[in-house]
Amino acid sequence: MDDEYAKLFRRMNPPRVVIDNNACEDATVIQVDSVNRHGILLEVVQVLTDVNLVITKAYISSDAGWFMDVFNVIDHDGNKIRDKEVIDYIQRRIESNASFAPSLRGSVGVMPSEEHTSIELSGTDRPGLLSEVCAVLADLHCTVVNAEIWTHNARAAAVVHVQDDSTGCAIKDPKRLLTIKELLCNVLKGSDDLKTANMTLSPPGVTNRGRRLHQIMFADRDYERVGGAGLRGVGDKSSRPHVTVVDCIQKDYTVITMRSKDRPNLLFDIICTLTDMQYVVFHGVVHTGKMEAYQEFYIRHVDGLPISSEAERERVIQCLEAAIERRASEGLELELCTEDRVGLLSDITRIFRENSLCIKRAEISTKGGKAKDNFYVTDVTGNPVDPKIIDSIRGQIGHTILKVKHNSSTSPTAPQESTMGFLFGNLFKARTFQNFKLVRSCS
C-alpha cells in the first residue's frame, strides 16, 4: 500500500523543469523540482550527459521528500544552450517522470537486438588485448559498429556492438553466440588471472553505456588495488583524485569531498557509483575550474544511516577513486577518421600492438559508412609514447586518416587538502527552493 501511495503521489506531482538563459552570465541554469526518490539525481544528470552538456556548477538538495536541484551547464564550446530541440528534449525527458536510468545488476554477456548484438566483456588487461579481441571478432565475421573500452587497475571492460559482416544484421544464432563467447573468454583470461573472464547473457533493457561499464568494473572489483596495477609512469601521484569521507555528527550525515582533474562526465560517473552502492545524496555542491573540479556531498545509506565503520569508509573512498579514474583520458589521444570496411578495427589495433602501444581507453563509432574512433594510448610501461613511433604509425595508416588530438599525460597541480564544511554553514539554511536559488545567484 505504501508503494502504491508513493506511485500515486509521484503521478500527482510530476517533475518541473525551468531552463533559464538569463539568470547567469556564462551558463544556462536548469532547475529541477520533483518528488524525491532513490535514483532521481542520477536520472537527471544522465539526461544532461546524454545531450553532451558540461555541468560547471550544481547545487543539490533533497531533504523532506522533495528534490530541488540547480545545474549550471554549457556546451563543449563553452556556450549557453540555445538549441530549442535540446531544450525541449531535456524538459520532455525529465518531466515525463519515467525511469530512464534503471539499475541493472546483471553480469556481463551477449544480448542480441534487431540491429546489432551487444557484447559485454571483462577480464585481465594487458598490452595488445583489444587487438586480440578484434582479431577474434574479425575471424568470426563480426563487424564492430560501436564500442567503448575502459581499463583500470589491471582490469579491462568493454561494451561492443557487432553485426554479421555479410548481412549487416544482429547475430542471433545460439550456436554462433556460444562460439563467440568461448573464444573471447579464452582471449580475456590471462595466464595468471585470479579473476574469471566474463561473458554471459545480459539482463533485458537498455542502460547508458557508461553506466553499464561502471557496473561491470564495479562487479569485477577493479577498485581493489593490486601490486603493479594501474602503472601510470612518472607524476602519477599528482594526477590521482583526492577523496575524503568524514562524519557530520550534528546532522547525522557522512560528508564526502572530492578534488580531481576536471573532465567531461565526471559528475555522472560519481553519482553512478554512489547510486549503485545504495547511497543517497541529500545535499551537495559541484564547482569546476579550468583544471580542477571540487565536489562535496552529504550522504546516507538508503536505510537512512550514515557510514558507520572504517572498512565501509575505506571502501567508499576506493570506489569513488575508481569511478573518477576509469574514464580519465590517460595518455595520447589519437583520432581515426576514414571509410569503414570489414576488418578495419582489427587492422588498426594490430598496428598499434606491433608498435608496442597500450590502449588505455577507446571509443569506436560508425555512421553513414564512416568510422570515427578515438584511442588513448601509452607505451607498455604506462609512459608517454615516443613521437617517432607515432609518426611511423601515422605513416603506415595515413597522416590524414590518423591524427594526434592532444596529450593528456600532463598532470595538473596536486589537489590540496581541504577542510570539511563548504556547505555546512550555508546549505542547511537553504530549506526552500527560493533560498536555494539565492545560493546559486550569489556564487
Q: Note the pLDDT tens digit of each residue in 273-330.
A: 999 999 999 999 999 987 899 999 999 999 999 999 999 999 999 999 999 999 987 8
pLDDT over 50 (residue 201): no
Give the largest Cα separation in the chain, rounded: 68
pLDDT in the model for residue 38: 83
pLDDT in the model for residue 386: 95
pLDDT over 60 (residue 387): yes
The per-residue pLDDT for range 214-272, each reduced to its tens digit, is: 999 999 999 997 654 444 443 455 578 999 999 988 889 999 999 999 999 999 999 99
pLDDT tier at 419, thresholds 50, 70, 90: very low
Phi, psi dihedral angles at 93 (to 5 degrees): -65, -45
pLDDT in the model for residue 265: 94
Task: Kindly state the average pLDDT of the residues 325-342.
Answer: 92
214 neighbors 118 (Cβ within 8 angstroms): no
Kindly give the residue spans of alpha helices, DSSP state H, lying in 327-414.
344-354, 387-397
- For all residues of the chain together, what is the average pLDDT? 83
pLDDT in the model for residue 191: 61
Task: Kindly state the average pLDDT of the residues 19-33.
Answer: 95
% of the chain with per-residue pLDDT over 90: 63
pLDDT over 70 (residue 436): no
- Euclidean distance between CA atoms 84 and 98, whole angstroms: 22
C-alpha cell at 44: 537527471
Q: Which candidate, 129, 166, 174, places its Cα nearest to that of 342?
A: 166
pLDDT in the model for residue 414: 43
pLDDT in the model for residue 321: 97
pLDDT in the model for residue 41: 93
Residue 14 burial (CB count, 10 A): 13
109 neighbors 199 (Cβ within 8 angstroms): yes
- Euclidean distance between CA atoms 422 and 292, whole angstroms: 16
C-alpha cell at 184: 573471447
pLDDT over 70 (residue 164): yes
DSSP SS3 for 57: strand
Tell me which of 422 and 52 has the higher pLDDT: 52
pLDDT over 80 (residue 142): yes
Q: Which candidate, 349, 354, 393, 357, places its Cα nearest to that of 373?
A: 349
Q: How far apart are the first and last CA of the chain?
A: 43
Q: DSSP letters of 266-326?
A: HHHHHHHHHHHTTEEEEEEEEEE-SSEEEEEEEEEETTS----SHHHHHHHHHHHHHHHHH
pLDDT in the model for residue 133: 95
CA atoms within 13 A on the CB side of 155: 26
pLDDT tier at 116, thresholds 50, 70, 90: confident
Task: Kindly state the average pLDDT of the residues 170-191.
Answer: 88
Strand 253-261 versus strand 279-288 pairing type = unpaired
Q: DSSP letters of 188-204?
A: HS-TT-SS--B--PPPS
pLDDT in the model for residue 288: 93
% of the chain with per-residue pLDDT over 70: 78
pLDDT in the model for residue 205: 54
DSSP SS3 for 122: strand
Entry pTM:
0.83
Task: Kindly state the average pLDDT of the residues 387-399.
Answer: 96
Containing 337, the helix (H) or strand (E) segment is strand 332-339
The per-residue pLDDT for range 46-102, each reduced to its tens digit, is: 999 999 999 999 999 987 678 889 999 999 999 999 999 999 999 999 988 544 433
